[in-house]
A and B are shown apart, each in its own frame.
Chain A
Amino acid sequence: MKKYNWLTLWALAMITFFSTGCDSEDVAPMPTINYQKIAGGLTETADIKVEVYSTDKLFTGYNPLHIALFDAASGKQIEQASIKLQPMMHMMDKQHAAPAENPTTDRAVDGLFSGAVVFTMPSGDMGSWTLVVEVEADGRKTKATVPVTVVESATSRLKSFVSKTDGAKYLVAYLQPQQPKVGVNDLEVAVYRVNSMMDFPADSKLTLELNPEMPAMGHGSPNNVNPVHQSVGHYIGKVNFTMTGLWHLHLTLKDGAEEAGKVYFEVNF
């Protein structure tokens, strides 16, 4: 009898224990991408229509670009092509290029060939940008030159430094996090060496040290992972934010054991 009562009480306790266990868990929203067309034109041979898409206005820094190709005669989308991107800044007395990443595959994904361009300055009185899209499709080899407008980003997403070790200028572009949150964030930057006004090879030999700082409070954050080189100049690591607000991501770039330079990016959220 005594045992029976014990069991009843225990059962009651367990009922509550399980019935109170249903908490509403938040579900992260699916990322939805709205591409907008930012430029378009015909190739020199006038047989292929080129459209350039981006998620937003082009800005100074690393811009993923998505190219759609259409047969000018039939209007049919071209799914198989080799594409090269060549940004060009036209100024009064000179012109220069900028780092670019060509689409890595010949097959369009959802009709788009994805690459990227690192615009190094905004369009304006100083000069204007064009994007040369070289297309090789169905045995045709041609190119389209489309004007694009680049604005200065609200917070700087492109930094440069002159290496103390080899004297060359390097560009460091900020890629991630685009939507920073309190917690662990993927950090991605791309590093290019400025060999000449026309040659910006992706760097892979520098090592990066990350040190986030909250300037208003003077503190950092723990357990960050230094970005390491993955491919085509992209360095990937982790940055941890312990609160919202303005953060400075300090990067120390090292050439071997020696410090080559320092840059920082602002993240404000």
Chain B
Amino acid sequence: MKTPILIGGFALAVLPAWAQLQPIPADSIRTILLQEVAISTKRHNHQQHLQEFYTANKAATTEELLSRMPEVSFIRRGSYGMEPTIRAYSASQVSVTLDGMRIQGACTDKMDPATIYIEPLNLQSIEVQTAGGSAMQGAAIGGSLNMKLAEAELADEPRLSGAVSTGYQSAANAVLGGLRLNYATPTWGLRASGTYRNAQSYRNGNSEKVLYSQYEKANIAINGKYLLQEDLILKADFIADDGWNIGFPALPMDVGTAKARIGSISLVRENEEKRWTRLEARLYANRIAHSMDDSARPDLPVRMDMPGLSRTSGFYVEGTTAPGANQQLSVRADASASYLEASMTMYQEGQAPMFMLTWPNNRQLQSGVAAQYSWQVNTKTQLQLNSRLNVSDFSVTSSEGRDQMAVFGSTGTERQFVIPAATVQLSRMVYKKLKASISGGINGRTPTASELYGFYLFSQFDGYDYVGNPDLKPERSMQGEFTLSWQEPRVRVQATTYASRVENYIVGAHKPELSAMTMGARGVKVYYNAPYALLMGAEASAVYNINGYTQLVSTLKYSYGRDAAGEPLPMIAPLRHVSSLRKYFGDNLWVQGETEIAAAQHRNSESFGEQPTDAFMLWHLRAGYQKETARKVWQLNAGVENIFNVNYREHLDWGQITRPGRNMFVQLSMSF
């Protein structure tokens, strides 16, 4: 049992299933715990099993980790820079935050969701909340995704610890290098990490190279912690993430550079004896500069530069208290200001440069107050209330921007949106170990800057130029969720179904009288509020510890969406199932077989020119080996993904670009 072994073919039982990680009040929260725990927890307890299910490939990017969560799907335009969505909701309906901080991507074509500026090495956990639980994070109708940053540690005696890791993936000929150092003393601690990734264009299941799918990036993060008083900690974070030469095979352009600088200072007081057991205040700022690049693409009629800039600063204050026995109240106030600008300059031989603002310089000021109240009514019943009041003000800040918006007849660009949200959730043990939770509520979301002010933003997805509409109303949603879970020490089964009716659903409407700006575009669409859309779906998961050394994790999900006219919504993933069976051989070696099955999706949106997608089935095999010496822990992870080299694409992948074929990966890490 000393060498890592790859063992072939597990036939996996298929159980409708789904995983819940922690005994947290709400059923609508899912968390991935990352490396901190992996290193400190050496026994394979229940929690670690799930976490390893999520982090099965240790060389994975944040995106790959997220894509293993049953609620999360990715809209994929390239092998990096995918846009996370939750359930059937679109990316703009989901709130993505970094440790409670807001970050706005700086790309008008959504090539840089906040998740690309974070490495798993920066993170302690990733938290996905559905339904009303997201109210604490922001005004969203589709839930929230919060990436919790890893922190420096304190120790009784000064101590240096760290880890070095390196990895390789064959499909994209990708290399990864990572380094983490922690220095801990009784009163202060410092954590520094660095990651470098370099991936070439990958090969798909037909062993063809998918051009323009390469990327390269480096990430540095520093976190410091200082104990001011017994119960008061001062923290500071800084992350610098630089990506370059990021290919987008499904788009006509790639990304030249994408640079993020993220910083924050916070004060945390944790004291069980005080009335407020936990108080946190944080000030933060971040800046993202993004520029697209088409220099690698041959035969373009027009060359263009498309730089974008986003700057956000803000703060939040949150506190937790126990207003009574078996009750918990968390409150939060947050405010932020985000500034966005993006432009496009097109060049043609012998012509003056053609310049336009694709995002007229605009600013969003948002502030909100939120509260979450839970009450364990009795041993069988639990009640949770979530609420938020969010106020956002948008405006175009430059006269050039306002002049441009006037082309579409808009007289004013200043808008204010007030979004109330409230959710009630009731959980009750209904029969033996069967727990039922029902929740219902209202919430909403503001339009995005692109939806309000976007100026001829070309979407390769449907081939239209999109123009913003400053008169949009916010989306408002009524939604309900019902969960049944059965929990025993060895078996946990959970099934959830949800439905929401989204009023004022924001979507583009084709305007035949407008002529497209982009060459080859099919026309112009202007955002408007469709009467409503229906989004619903279900997820199920099971975790079955067959014995202490064998575990089955299985998830299933289905989403459904249609608009007021009954037409299917675009970008809705089909029925999808993942099962993994992991077996431990002693405490040091594990082997895991995995299947991933997606049904065909024929509910495609005709009006978006969306194509149906075929079903596929993938097999993966992973293994891990861990060796502990007196002062070091060595970990080797290796595996084969897509063993049978299936040529497939997910329904949410743009441009009929197929995914990587057989991928062999290996990762070695040493921690001390």
**Interface residues, chain A, with chain B CB atoms under 8 Å away:** 2, 5-6, 9-10, 12-14, 16-17, 20-21, 23-26, 28, 181-184, 214, 216-223, 240-246, 268-269
**Distance in Å from the Cβ of B138 to the closest Cβ of chain A?**
13
Q: Which residue of the partner chain, among B329, B334, B353, B514, contacts A244 with CB atoms under 8 Å? A: B353
B400 and A182 contacting across the interface, CB-CB below 8 Å: yes
B398 and A26 contacting across the interface, CB-CB below 8 Å: yes
Interface CB pairs A-B, < 8 A, 13 = A6-B371, A16-B335, A17-B391, A23-B397, A26-B400, A182-B356, A217-B354, A217-B519, A219-B516, A220-B515, A223-B407, A242-B407, A242-B455
Q: Which residue of the partner chain, among B313, B315, B355, B369, contacts A182 with CB atoms under 8 Å? A: B355
Tell me the bound Cα distance from A58 to B357 in angstroms. 35
Report the number of A-B residue pairs with Cβ-Cβ less than 8 Å.
124
Residues of B within 8 A of A25 (CB): 397, 399
Tell me the bound Cα distance from A223 to B317 in angstroms. 47
Q: Which residue of the partner chain, among A10, A219, A223, A268, contacts B369 with CB atoms under 8 Å? A: A10
Size category of the B interface is 35 or more
Tell me the bound Cα distance from A268 to B403 in angstroms. 18
B407 and A221 contacting across the interface, CB-CB below 8 Å: yes
B355 and A17 contacting across the interface, CB-CB below 8 Å: no
The chain A residue with its CB closest to the CB of B351 is: A216
Tell me the bound Cα distance from A182 to B402 in angstroms. 10
B514-528 residues at the A interface, CB under 8 angstroms: 514-517, 519, 524
The chain B residue with its CB closest to the CB of A184 is: B406
The 3 closest A-B pairs by CB, nearest first: A183-B403, A245-B354, A243-B356
Residues of A within 8 A of B643 (CB): none
Tell me the bound Cα distance from A246 to B348 in angstroms. 11
A28 and B399 contacting across the interface, CB-CB below 8 Å: yes
B356 and A217 contacting across the interface, CB-CB below 8 Å: no
Residues of A within 8 A of B513 (CB): 222
Residues of B within 8 A of A24 (CB): 397
Residues of A within 8 A of B657 (CB): none
A244 and B356 contacting across the interface, CB-CB below 8 Å: yes
A222 and B365 contacting across the interface, CB-CB below 8 Å: no
The chain B residue with its CB closest to the CB of A213 is: B515
Residues of A within 8 A of B398 (CB): 26
**Distance in Å from the Cβ of A158 to the closest Cβ of chain B?**
22
Could you give, for residues 513-551 of chain B, a 1 whenever the CB lies within 8 Å of some chain A CB and a 0 otherwise? 111110100001000000000000000000000000000
Tell me the bound Cα distance from A99 to B629 in angstroms. 99
With A6-B331, A182-B357, A244-B355 known, 17 other A-B pairs at CB within 8 A are A5-B331, A9-B331, A17-B391, A17-B393, A21-B365, A25-B399, A28-B399, A183-B402, A183-B404, A216-B348, A217-B346, A217-B517, A217-B519, A219-B517, A222-B513, A223-B408, A269-B352
* A17/B352 contact (C-beta < 8 A), A2-B323, A182-B403, A222-B407 known: no
Q: Does B333 contact A (CB under 8 A)?
A: yes
Residues of A within 8 A of B393 (CB): 17, 21
Q: Does B194 contact A (CB under 8 A)?
A: no
Residues of A within 8 A of B450 (CB): none
Residues of A within 8 A of B317 (CB): 9, 12
**Distance in Å from the Cβ of A25 to the closest Cβ of chain B?**
7
Tell me the bound Cα distance from A5 to B317 in angstroms. 11
Tell me the bound Cα distance from A79 to B3 in angstroms. 105
A183 and B406 contacting across the interface, CB-CB below 8 Å: yes
Q: Which residue of the partner chain, among A9, A16, A28, A222, contacts B514 with CB atoms under 8 Å? A: A222
B353 and A245 contacting across the interface, CB-CB below 8 Å: yes
Tell me the bound Cα distance from A8 to B144 in angstroms. 26
Q: Does B80 contact A (CB under 8 A)?
A: no
A184 and B403 contacting across the interface, CB-CB below 8 Å: yes
A242 and B352 contacting across the interface, CB-CB below 8 Å: no
B302 and A16 contacting across the interface, CB-CB below 8 Å: no
Tell me the bound Cα distance from A242 to B333 in angstroms. 40
Tell me the bound Cα distance from A28 to B329 in angstroms. 52
Could you give, for residues 296-326 of chain B, a 1 whenever the CB lies within 8 Å of some chain A CB and a 0 otherwise? 0000001000000000011101010001000
The chain B residue with its CB closest to the CB of A9 is: B333
Residues of B within 8 A of A181 (CB): 400, 403
Residues of A within 8 A of B354 (CB): 214, 216-217, 243-245
Residues of A within 8 A of B356 (CB): 182, 242-244
**Distance in Å from the Cβ of A102 to the closest Cβ of chain B?**
35
B352-408 residues at the A interface, CB under 8 angstroms: 352-357, 363, 365, 367-369, 371, 391, 393, 395, 397-400, 402-404, 406-408
Residues of B within 8 A of A219 (CB): 515-517
The chain B residue with its CB closest to the CB of A21 is: B365
A13 and B368 contacting across the interface, CB-CB below 8 Å: yes
Q: Does B337 contact A (CB under 8 A)?
A: yes
Residues of B within 8 A of A23 (CB): 363, 395, 397
A242 and B517 contacting across the interface, CB-CB below 8 Å: yes
Q: Does B456 contact A (CB under 8 A)?
A: yes
